[in-house]
Structure formats: structure tokens, C-alpha cells
Chain A
């Protein structure tokens, strides 16, 4: 008979202490403040969730009740107030949703880890991927799905609002994803046309009615500042591109960085003259020695010193797509990635031109770096 014994043996002080302790436990367990962050995130997630599977892919949806046997109610009438979708310099404060879009050919764990490290509230981030239906694509899909499963069942704060995986409905023009093959000039037009179509397919099927910002992030961007979205949105520009560099080991076996993306530039008179003399189907590509355009490349104007001004901003005529923050309204107005020569430009550079035709300005941050994977 342990219980009566122990009770008998305890002194009043012990009892009081026990009472205080148990009261403390109860307070700890029941007090809503103890885990308010997670709970409010979860509540917001539920509030944002769509009631029916037929809903914009940028929000999660409530699974249909299996017991209804497919006899579900018809989808509800949903109103979307696009007047209230804002894009401001303070995206977190205004609860603005960001859609991160990635055309994926290979899955790099570095990319995913970097994505998870983003400090923007994940409940405001929707992800979209488009993957070609090739053998390599199947492998990438499997790896991606495994990573998604881990994240979406993991800690609440790290989960993304929704994830959409698309499989491309056309074959890529060249099967090899090798760096050297990919960058051959003869292959560029077909490759970038296919890339444009993939980007457009991804964009227009996932944009939905609630997205404020679209962040284009290539699958081989493995390092960005964790505050990437906030930092870029802070400038409040319609189209903004950071400088894309690559880390490598130089001849002296020391870690170094070099420019990677040459598609962000300011136009030159030479290039304009060149364009005038071209046929309607010709394209000016950047970064090839035999087409000297004398454009001002953002990659070349970077200041790599530690004391650099990361806020420095320059207007651009062409933008690269490795990392690119776009206000959703620019895309909604129709700015897309032309898969055909548009003013002798294609893909992201053509996009910049189209955005400017629609009256939106394009800008670059020469001293703000993101890093490309090095093969």
C-alpha cells in the first residue's frame, strides 16, 4: 500500500511544492501562448486551404472524404479579389504569397537545402516544378518527391504552403544536359525555345489568383542569402535580377568566384544595329565570342569586395533567369518567355523586352550574389 503511505509521509511543504509544480505543468500544457507560432501558422494554412480539389495549385486543399464514394458536392463558387493582391516592399508584413518556380532537369540536394533555408515564412511560399519526361527527368522527379515528402511531413514551420509538380508535354530538343553540349550556339535556339515553353507552361498553370510575387529559381542555384526574397522584394521593382556567380577552385587551389549568367545586360548601339540588319528569325545570343555585342553585362560590373554596396541597382534591357523576382502582375499582363525570336531575343531576354513593351521596368543588383552549382 504505497500510496497511502507516501501521502502520509509527505510533509505539507512537499504537498504545496507538488501542487505548484503540477499547476505549472498544467499551465504549460494548456496555455495557448506556449506554441502560438506553430498553431497560428497551422490555422492560417487551414484558412487558406481550398475546400475542393479543383482549386488553384498555390493553396493546399482539403482531401475529399473517401466515404462519400465520389459523390462529392459540386465545387463552390469562389471569389478572388485581385484588387487586394498587393506587391510591396514589405512582403511579410502584408502577407504576400510568393510562388517559386523551377524548371528542373536534375535534382541537387544543395538546391533543396538552400530552399529550406529561406527565411521567408514557408506558409507563404508555393513551389512549382516542371520536369521533362526523360529518363533523367524520372530520376529527378523521384528525388524531388522524396525531398518534398520529408519536408512536408517534417516540422510545421518548414513546410511549404503547396507544391506542384508538372511533367512536360513535349520532349526537350537535345537529350544531353551536359554543360558543354547545352551551351553550344547551334543548340541554343532550340534549347532556349523549349526552355521558354517549359517556363510558360509552368507559369500559366500555377500562377493562380493569389500570388503576389514570382521567384524564378533555377534548379542549379545552390546558394543564396536566406533573406533572398525579402532583399529582392525590398526594392519593389517589377522585374529584379541578382547577379549569378559560380564558386570554383582557382589555379592556386583557392576558392574563388566567377561570373556565370551573362543574360543580364544593358543594350548597346552595336547590338541595336546588329538587330536592325538581321532577318526576322535571327537571334542575338550573349556570351559568344563570334557575336560581339558590346553590351554592358551586369556580371562584369560586379563589385566582389566585402564592403560592397549590396543595394546598388541598375536598369537592365535583358535579364537572366537563374534567379529572378517578378511581380505577378507583370506576368498577368501577359509578359511571358517568348519561345520565338521577339525583337531578336528569346526566353528570359525576350521576357525582359516584352515586360518593357508592356510598360514595366527591369532592374539588376550587380553586387547581390546567388551561386550556381559547379559541375
Chain B
């Protein structure tokens, strides 16, 4: 190889004086095909191809390294995260006036947030989910939010299982919208809050705690897309499937149905349950003024006689279910409210707000912000009947009573049976005796008849007959007809007695003999 050629094409980089030694004509320069070089080049190409194909295979079989190579190939301009970030949306835009809530929300695709606070509710869940399945409001427009707090039973596991099944339901109409299960324990707070000595005071702190749970649930689950919020307790036994639409149709800011519960017959069959829906009364307002800042008025305790008209007591089973009633406090079993109520800041006061807490305070606060709060006295949902401690005791007493009664009954039957058996023995004995007596009396009768016949020959035959009859009467009193006849005879004889006193002694003698005979006979009877 000529080392003096500075240019690739073989031109000299400098003028050479020894031009004669060198062949400088360009056409004579042929880069000779060197086999070694060619082989090396081919080797390089083959290596390259092999490398590429192996890389390709690796990319196919090991997806995990794809992103790394992709980053390298694109010189990091499009990083791996970017590829996935392209699928990520970070900005959301909502116009809240689109989620104001209208009377026919299902036609406007209005989303409903359904909130259910749960605590040791495992036993109620199957019932609750059967209600969910039956809801007629389009399920995909209903978001479910649960707060599971301080549960000692299997609530959480069962809940997630049932929710997963619900979302995987093959029927496309069954799955609901967003589902949030919020786990939060307030337990510690309860212990801190032991300001209570007796049940009535405990009621206030219990209500505050429940209010806190509701607020945590709502604040975590409310979204800008929600037009309505529906609060529902897990222990509702019976409610119309169309309850969301039914309540929505009234187009009120806050609306509650009447809540009753069925009772066993011995308690009257049914009973108003939720006493927290009421209209404010002057008495209660005056009472509120006398209480200190942290006091909470709770309904249903003698300490606070409020004389408020309760929604529950105004129910007429045949009343118009669409009838509305303005109320001030609301119960929490089933509340439908427009989301804008909660967006404005109305919540469940976990402190004493105008002397009320939780749902009653919620009603008060909604009123304070000029929202309409309405109850439906004749539209009823039925709360599950769970016997109270008193009821359970009462039921135990009743059960005991029933058992006692049963035992008594059994004893009585047995006694009766025994008595009857004894009575039957006596009866047969009686029968025998009677037959025997009858036999005797018949014999006597015969004797007497003969005697009578003999006497008839004489003038005074009656007294003998009478004596005979009387004997029969003493033996078997049921022969009253005979005895009457005998009596008649006797009367007749008595009448005659005055006529012939001379014969009286005679008659008496006959009688005495008859009596003696009878006594003898009775002794015979006794012996047998």
C-alpha cells in the first residue's frame, strides 16, 4: 500500500520530484480486492445481523427490557415513563352547575353517591346487597362508598367479596360506578371521650362519634360529578326498589321517608322507628336556650320533653305517599340530599350545633343555609326489627311464661286424665250399683205391686205404694218422674188422711217396715 497518498482517491498531498518511480496515473490505482479485508467485512456484517436478530428476539421474549432499549434508541427523548405517562391524565375540569340535581335525574345521567357507614354489620350485608341489586336507578350512575370502622366481625372481608361479585356480575346492568371502601377506626377517640356516666349522656357522645364517621366518609367520597348524595343504613329491611327516583321526584334539597319497623305481634305489629325527623317546637327552642354550649338534645328521652311533631307518628298507612312535610331535624336511616347541600358545607356536626348533633344537626344546618328540608310522612321504609335488651328480656319472660303455661297445661291434662280414669272406674261401679239397685228396686216394685194388688183389695192401698216409691227415690234420684207420680199419690193420700185418721197408724207401720227394708238393702249395696 502506498503510504504517501494523502487523499483517498490516491492523489498525492504534495508534489513529488521522484514522479518517475511512482505510478501516479489515477486510472491505474485499483484498490485491490483483498480477500482478508473482504472476509473481515462480511464477518462484521454477519455479526451485526446476528446481534440485531438476537436483540429482536430478546425484545420479543423479555418485554421488561424493551423500555430500556427504547430509551436508548430514542436517546432518552421519549423516556419509558413518558410512554406510560401519555396514558395518564392529570388534569380534570368540572362545571359544578352541571351537577345541580333535577327532579328526573336518571334522564340527565345524574350521578348519585350512596354512602353507608358500617360497623359490625356482617349480618346485614346480604340483605343490603339484595336491595342494591334491586335498585331501579341506573346502576352505573350510582357510586358506592362504605366506611368500615371499628368492626370486630367479618364485615370488611364479606363486603369486599360481595362488592367484587357485584362488579363482576355478568349482567351489564348490575355493576355500579366508583366503589370506595374506606377503612378508618375511631376507637381511640371513644375512649378519650368518656365524659359519660349514664346512658343519656353517652347518647350525645355516641351521636358525635357517628357524625364524625359520616363526615369522614363523605369528605373522602364526594366528587365534583355527584348531583345527589343518598345516605342509607345497612339495616333497612324493606324499602321500595324505586326509592331513589321516588325521593328525587320531589326535587327537594334534603328529603327523608318515614321509617317504621315491624314488631312481633305481642308488641303491636309495627312501630315508628326513627324519631329524629321532627318539626321544631317552641318548647324545644326554649329548652335549647337553657342548655349549655355542648349539650345535645336527643329525642326519646324523658330528660328532654320537646313536644315536637314527629314525622314517624304522623303516618297514615293509606295516606298519599307524595305528601310532604317541612321538618327541621332529620333521621339518618335514608336521606336523599342534593350534592350541592354538602358542597356548600352542610355536614353532620360532630359538635353541638344549635344544641343538636349528627343527622338532626345536619337538618338544622341545612335549614340555616336556606335549603329545603322535607319529610314524607306516608312513604315508609321498614327498619329491621332487632329486639332490644328489654325486648329480649321480655321475650325470655314470655318464653318462660309460655313454657310454664305449657307445663301447666300438660299437668292439667294429665290430672284430668287421671281423674277421668278414676271417674270412669267410679262410673262403672256406679253403673253396676245402679243396675243392682235397679234390680232390687224392680224386685221391690214387683213385691210392692203384688202388695198393692193385695192392698187394692182393701180400701187403703196408696201409702204402701208411696213408701215403695220413696224407697226408689232414695236409691236412684234420676227416677224423678216416678217420684213425682209417687208424690202425687202421696198428696192424694195426705188429702185422704184427714178423712180417715183411723188408718193413719196403720199406714205408718207399713212405712216403717219399708224403711227398715231399705236400710238393709243399702247395707247390702255397700258391701258389694
Contacts and interface: CB of A to CB of B under 8 A. Distances in A.
A165 interface: yes
A164 B220 contact: no
B85 A205 contact: no
Contacts of B94: 164-167, 205
A62 B84 CA distance: 9
B219 interface: yes
Most A CB contacts (10 A, CB to CB) among B40, B80, B220 go to: B220
Given A167-B96, A205-B343, A57 B215 contact: no
Given A46-B84, A166-B94, A76 B179 contact: yes
B167 A148 contact: no
B319 to A, nearest CB: 35
B24 to A, nearest CB: 19
Given A78-B180, A204-B343, A334-B211, A159 B90 contact: yes
A208 B223 CA distance: 8
Contacts of B96: 166-169, 201, 205
Interface string B328-351: 000000000000101111011111
Contacts of A75: 167, 175-179
B91 A46 contact: no
Given A1-B31, A29-B72, A63-B87, A54 B345 contact: no
A1 B31 CA distance: 9
B303 to A, nearest CB: 23
Task: Classify chain B: how many residues form its interface, as a range.
Answer: 35 or more
Given A38-B81, A163-B90, A196 B345 contact: yes
Given A75-B178, A75-B179, A334 B350 contact: yes
A161 interface: yes
Interface stretch (A80-88, A267-275, A300-308): A80-88
A55 B31 CA distance: 71
Contacts of A197: 343-345
A351 to B, nearest CB: 10
Interface in A173-213: 196-197, 200-201, 204-209
A53 B85 CA distance: 15
B219 A339 contact: no
A46 B164 contact: no
Mostly, the B contact residues are mixed
Interface string B74-91: 001001110011011111
B85 A164 contact: no
Given A166-B96, A167-B95, A206-B224, A83 B185 contact: yes
A201 B344 contact: yes
Contact of A209 (B71, B182, B343, B352): B182
Interface string B232-267: 000000000000000000000000000000000000
B364 to A, nearest CB: 11
B181 A77 contact: yes
Given A42-B85, A209-B182, A161 B97 contact: no
A52 B369 contact: no
A332 B345 contact: no
Contacts of B177: 54, 74-75
A74 B140 contact: yes
B90 A156 contact: no
Contacts of A49: 88
Given A54-B178, A78-B180, A336-B345, A358 B351 contact: yes
A122 to B, nearest CB: 11
Interface string B156-180: 0000100110011000000111111
B108 interface: no
A254 interface: no
Contacts of B218: 204
24 contacts: A29-B76, A30-B72, A39-B79, A63-B87, A74-B140, A74-B175, A77-B160, A77-B179, A78-B180, A79-B182, A79-B183, A80-B183, A197-B343, A197-B344, A201-B96, A201-B340, A201-B344, A204-B342, A207-B219, A209-B182, A333-B212, A334-B211, A334-B212, A334-B351
Interface of B: 8, 31, 37, 40-41, 68, 71-72, 76, 79-81, 84-85, 87-97, 99-100, 140, 143, 160, 163-164, 167-168, 175-185, 211-212, 215-216, 218-226, 340, 342-345, 347-352, 368-369
Given A200-B345, A339-B344, 7 more contacts: A62-B89, A78-B178, A156-B81, A169-B340, A204-B342, A332-B219, A334-B212
